[in-house]
A and B are shown apart, each in its own frame.
Chain A
Amino acid sequence: MSDSYKRDIKAALNDSFLRRTLDKFAVEYRAGRDRVFSEVDERGLIRRIADVKDAAAQHTEELYARFKEEAERRGAVVHRAKNAAEAREIIAAIAKENGVKSVVKSKSMTAEEIGLNAYLGAEGVEVNETDLGEWIVQLRRERPSHMVMPAIHLSRGQVADEFEKATGREQDHENVDKLVKTARAELRPKFHAADMGISGANFLIAETGAITIVTNEGNGRLVNTLPRIHVALAGLDKLVPTLDDALTALQVLPRNATGQRITSYVTFIDGATACAKSPSGRKILHIVLLDNGRTAIAKDPLFSQIYRCVRCGACANVCPVFRLVGGHRMGHVYVGAIGLVLTYLYHDRDAAKKLCQNCVGCGACKDVCSGGIDLPRLIQEIRARFAKEDGEPMMSRLARYAMRNRTVFHRLLKFMRFAQKPFSGRDGFVRHLPMALFGKHGFRTLPALAPKAFRELWPSLRRNVENPRFRIALFAGCAQDFALPHQLVAAMKVFRYFGVEVDFPMGQTCCGLPLVALGEKDAALDVARQNITAFAGKYDAIVTLCASCASHLRHGYPKAVGAEAEEFSARVMDFSSFVHDKLDVTEKDFARLGWKVAYHASCHLCRELGVKDAPRALISAAAHYTPTPEEETCCGFGGSWSVKFPEISAELMRKKLDNVCSADATHLALDCPGCTIQLRGGADQGKRAIKVVHVAEVLAAALESGEKDDNEQ
């Protein structure tokens, strides 16, 4: 990681305007999006977009041929550019042929991708951006910091300063409406004077050769109407077979981009319509389709899904890291999660290497993606490829060696228990590790390894249950087994109370998720097989208190191991779902605690596993559930991720704890030991009056207080 990039991140974290804007946007965007999606079948539409675009990726040549034939039949000229340089040359040649001196341009990310403005400028053609945000960043000689809101990083005051320089007239530094009117007045003459308009396109419809342009400001329609020449530039991935496909995607794109049901303008142009300014009486219409690596990607079994991207920008809108650092540190040309992937695939692998380390793997982007792209998985794969190219770092090598062999791994953990002794306090936190080891991790205290691992406590905890309602196997996961066994002990109380017989297969080992994160695929496969063997017994369910383990055991194993994992994975359940769905626990089962319990929805639970109601229902049954803002936003733990970007991790954690504390909660409950380490450590370090507990601990406490009440009676 370069120091300059880290400095850049730090500067962004200190930019309070950017932070306030993006924070406000993150909350408002969610609310607006939910409102407009409630009117349509969100999942069904996303599925259809994915299917259409997946098929389009496999039939690009046929779609291109049909599109070209139909568009040219209607008087357009269709070009195909192999790469950015070819696309630039094609467009420059059109300008030259027609004696073009000035161009008006509406928003096109593809033009950014090929560096069009600079190239035309060097050819002596004046290019004026006309989208308000694009015009502002053009005046500032910056690049867009968001695909839909290019100037979201700037304040109205900064915009006013820029407009004063551009117009030579004093500007209102407070009134946004007046600034918008300045842009209108300033750009109108440029539309009239321009010889050529350049636009992007959102869809290229093969059946009729039509292009679709989705806009709000109205500049796009002026760009393709007032000048005599219109050049539309788009990637080959924008091809769809039919009008129906475009109309399907049009129900998602504006909803996801800006929370609108539809934008102010959606324009369908098929062919060269009549044009008074053109010598021939017809518009001079050129459509340039850019490959630039797209057709090669279409053949990649994993990465071909990026064809599903409709450039809505939603993956940036919900990204907790984008929100902290802004688009200039979260993308190269394209921004957000898709920006990380496209930067790697198309543009700049060096830039991608830095950017990919930004992803916390929370899955928020995948959850809202218009095409259902598995963005976290793609980013994970890119990291793995970089890891392979670079040779493995020591941490990876060590992890692979130790974790492949369960006995060595567990012996290592036990050794660390002795090694940490001089540093750990009585309350189970490591406080006094030399700062050299901590680096910038002082924002949270780390849990000490427990004196006895759960696997060592097991012989004293195991009970035979007569006529058990269920017979389950407990999967501990490393963090709970060795650092937080009290969470499992609490769960044992709950299981016993509700007549569940529990087995703890000793052959179990790490689920393998940390190995996947390090790009160690083979070692991950090894530990998966060990676990499948260890849990071969007849169990009604395999229950784990760790949301990350649960998600990996359930979804990761079948993908990595294949059919032999299916029987195992189908039985895996997270603790809250098992207790809520299988044991039918209600508030009658508990003596309700006086605790005010806030809830943190772990990424792996609420998104990867889609478990949302069960833990909240359990908390409500056993205590007083206290809703807090943004329960489903990542806490910043992200496994090994927080080690690479401690500053960002600390900010995410602080925000989460601020939300909880402002609601006056006494406890914060969750379903994941990783989140526990992050938030419990943060609460301890920040001396916050809040206890961070597993949902199992809330239930166990409510059962215990109930038992006491019974005794008193």
Chain B
Amino acid sequence: MIEQFTARAEAASAKVHAVADEAAAVHLVDSLRAEKTAAGLEVGVVRAAKGIAQTGTCIVVTDDEDVRLKTMLPEVSVILLDAADILPDLPSAAPFLRAEQTKGSPSYISFITGPSRTADIERVSAIGVHGPLEFHIMLIGGRP
């Protein structure tokens, strides 16, 4: 599933960084942030609750507006995902979604797959419309 997740996420223009553990992920995020900030780009970092192998998707609980905006406004979006949280396909996400939507407070769940994109002008694929231009996944324990 890790391989499929990686291949499908990259097919959707995400950059997947396989890292051994949390510490390695944090280290890589720090250096990425430094690099991008120096280039004048904003970086938003959040943590995914689940992944979906078949589509290369990260599922992020974004009930909190600040967390949500971190995935929307900055040019560079970084998501931390534990490889153990990868589900096989969309239907297998139903129990997670149901639990979130019946937890007793309203929820806003985001399925995010790659950077924002459009093909609205002459069907030319363009990356980075209203959301991130770059999309990085730190896949923890994701070394195949």
Seen from chain A, the residues whose Cβ lies within 8 Å of a Cβ on chain B are 21, 24-25, 28, 39, 74-75, 130-133, 136, 149-152, 154-156, 159, 176-177, 179-181, 183-184, 187-188, 191, 207-208, 210, 216-219, 221-222, 225, 242-244, 247-248, 250-251, 258, 260-276
| Cross-chain contact B124 with A268 (CB below 8 angstroms) | no
| Cross-chain contact A222 with B72 (CB below 8 angstroms) | yes
| Cross-chain contact A272 with B111 (CB below 8 angstroms) | no
For the complex, give the distance between the alpha carbons of A151 and B123 in Å: 9
Residues of A within 8 A of B129 (CB): 132, 180, 183-184, 216-219
For the complex, give the distance between the alpha carbons of A219 and B132 in Å: 11
Residues of A within 8 A of B12 (CB): 260-262, 264
Binds A, one of B24-32, B34-42, B43-51, B53-61: B53-61
| Cross-chain contact A243 with B116 (CB below 8 angstroms) | no
Q: A149-B120, A176-B121, A179-B121 are in contact. List 19 more A-B contacts (CB 8 A).
A: A75-B106, A133-B121, A136-B120, A149-B123, A150-B120, A152-B120, A159-B121, A177-B126, A184-B129, A217-B118, A219-B129, A244-B94, A248-B91, A261-B113, A265-B110, A266-B110, A268-B107, A268-B108, A273-B65
| Cross-chain contact A225 with B65 (CB below 8 angstroms) | yes
Residues of A within 8 A of B122 (CB): 21, 152, 154-156, 176
| Total number of B residues with any Cβ neighbor in A under 8 Å | 50
- Which residue of chain A has its CB nearest to the CB of B11? A261
B130 an interface residue at 8 Å Cβ cutoff? yes
Q: A208-B101, A244-B91, A247-B91 are in contact. Are A265 and B112 (CB under 8 A)?
A: yes
| Cross-chain contact B121 with A217 (CB below 8 angstroms) | no
| Cross-chain contact A187 with B130 (CB below 8 angstroms) | yes
Residues of A within 8 A of B63 (CB): 273-274
Q: A133-B120, A269-B108, A274-B64 are in contact. Are A221 and B101 (CB under 8 A)?
A: no
| Cross-chain contact B119 with A258 (CB below 8 angstroms) | yes
Residues of B within 8 A of A176 (CB): 121-122, 124, 126
- Which residue of chain A has its CB nearest to the CB of B63? A273
Q: Which of B96-144 contact A (CB under 8 A)?
A: 97-98, 101-102, 105-124, 126, 128-132
Residues of A within 8 A of B131 (CB): 217-218, 221-222, 264-265
- Which residue of chain B has its CB nearest to the CB of A225? B68
How distant is B42 from chain A, measured CB to nearest CB, in Å?
12
What 8 A-B pairs are tightest by C-beta distance, nearest first?
A218-B131, A271-B106, A218-B116, A133-B120, A266-B111, A208-B101, A217-B129, A132-B120
- Which residue of chain B has its CB nearest to the CB of A214? B111
Residues of B within 8 A of A276 (CB): 65
How distant is A181 from chain B, measured CB to nearest CB, in Å?
8
How distant is B76 from chain A, measured CB to nearest CB, in Å?
14
Q: A151-B120, A264-B114, A268-B101 are in contact. Are A247 and B94 (CB under 8 A)?
A: yes
| Cross-chain contact A221 with B68 (CB below 8 angstroms) | yes
**Interface of chain B: mostly helix, strand, loop or mixed:** loop
For the complex, give the distance between the alpha carbons of A149 and B118 in Å: 9
Provide a sorted-by-A list of 25 A–B residue pairs whose CB atoms are within 8 angstroms: A132-B120, A133-B121, A149-B123, A151-B121, A152-B123, A155-B122, A176-B124, A207-B98, A216-B116, A216-B118, A221-B110, A222-B130, A225-B72, A243-B98, A251-B90, A261-B56, A262-B52, A263-B113, A264-B113, A264-B114, A267-B111, A272-B106, A273-B106, A273-B108, A274-B63
For the complex, give the distance between the alpha carbons of A521 and B124 in Å: 47
B1 an interface residue at 8 Å Cβ cutoff? no
Residues of A within 8 A of B130 (CB): 130, 184, 187-188, 191, 217-219, 222
Residues of A within 8 A of B113 (CB): 261-265
For the complex, give the distance between the alpha carbons of A264 and B120 in Å: 15
B20 an interface residue at 8 Å Cβ cutoff? no
Centre residue among A28, A191, A210 by max chain B CB count within 10 A:
A210
| Cross-chain contact A270 with B116 (CB below 8 angstroms) | no
Q: A176-B126, A210-B101, A221-B72 are in contact. Are A262 and B108 (CB under 8 A)?
A: no
